Amino acid sequence: MNFGSPEFVLAIVALSTGGWLVNNWIRARHGYSLEDEWGGKTERSDSAETKALKAENRELHDKLDTMQDRMVVLEKIVTDRGYSLRDEIEALRDKPTASEAGTPLNIKDRERI
C-alpha cells in the first residue's frame, strides 16, 4: 500500500469528513451545541416543548427540595428525646381493664425521658 497515493489521501479525507458528520449528527440529536468547520459553536434554539420540559423539571426540583425539608423536620421530631414510643406502649400496657376503653391515655402526665 502506497501511503502517498491519491487514493489513500482521498480515503483519509473521506473518513475525516464522515466522522465529523456523524459527530455533529449525534450532538444535534442529543441537544448539544454543534461545531462548525472553524471551531465555533452553534447553539440550538429551544423549542416550546423543551421550554415546557425545563419548567416542569424546575417545578419538580422545587417540590423535591420541599419534601426533603419536610423529611428533615420529621426525622427531628421522631428522633427527639421528648417523643417516646416506648412511653406510649407502656401507657397502653398499664391500662387496668377493658371497661375503661375509650378513656384517653395520660401520656403527657407521665415523665418524659
Q: Which residues of the chain have pLDDT under 70?
A: 1, 35-37, 39-45, 81-85, 94-113
Cα distance between residue 113 and residue 88, in whole Å: 12
Q: Do 56 and 33 reside in the same domain of the chain?
A: no
pLDDT of res. 22? 92
Q: Do 27 and 8 reside in the same domain of the chain?
A: yes
Q: Do 54 and 87 reside in the same domain of the chain?
A: yes
Q: What is the CA radius of gyration of the chain?
A: 35
Total domains in the chain come to: 2
Query: Does residue 27 belong to any structural domain of this protein?
Result: yes
Q: Do 12 and 39 reside in the same domain of the chain?
A: yes
pTM: 0.37
Q: Do 37 and 70 reside in the same domain of the chain?
A: no
Query: Does residue 100 belong to any structural domain of this protein?
Result: no
Query: Does residue 105 belong to any structural domain of this protein?
Result: no
Q: Do 61 and 35 reside in the same domain of the chain?
A: no
Q: Do 52 and 86 reside in the same domain of the chain?
A: yes
| Residue 54 structural domain | 46-95
Q: Do 56 and 83 reside in the same domain of the chain?
A: yes
Q: Do 11 and 29 reside in the same domain of the chain?
A: yes
Question: Per-residue pLDDT tens for 47-69?
Answer: 788 888 999 999 999 999 999 99
pLDDT of res. 27? 83
Q: Do 57 and 25 reside in the same domain of the chain?
A: no
CB 63 within 8 A of CB 71: no
CB 91 within 8 A of CB 106: yes
